[in-house]
Amino acid sequence: NYVADMRTLPKEHLRGLYLNVHNRVIRDEVISIGTVSANIIPPREIFRTAIECNAVAMILVHNHPSGEPTPSSEDVEVTKVLIEAGKIVGIHVLDHVIVSSEGALSFAETGRL
């Protein structure tokens, strides 16, 4: 429900929910806006914001304008890269959520993390 506003966006948006030690959102930021079918996910920008706001964890959220919340192979690969990058800088990637007009998919809930 927190990111329901992303369900009907016409372009892909990547949003970072940056969390404190109690898993409360301390910053909610649109990181990038892509096209109808693609978005560049810049790890440096994602973790720069996390470091600036002293986040200890984050949840990544992006939308699929197509309506299909199933992750693409690129979504899966980028998520793996971001999890590894987070380990290096000490910021835990708790989840990557894909939202669409047809619903949402949580990488954590589906065992993809």
Condensed to tens digits (0 to 9), the pLDDT of residues 78-103 reads 999 999 999 999 999 999 999 999 99
pTM above 0.85, yes or no: yes
Q: Quick one: 53 exposed, middle or buried, by C-beta within 10 A (0-12, 13-18, 19+)?
A: middle
Residues in CB range of 89: below 8 A, 6 or more apart: 47, 50, 51
For residue 97, the cross-strand partners are 61, 106
pLDDT at 105: 97
pLDDT at 104: 96
Question: Can you list the residues of the chain whose pLDDT is less than 50?
Answer: none
For strands 92-100 and 57-63, give the pairing: parallel
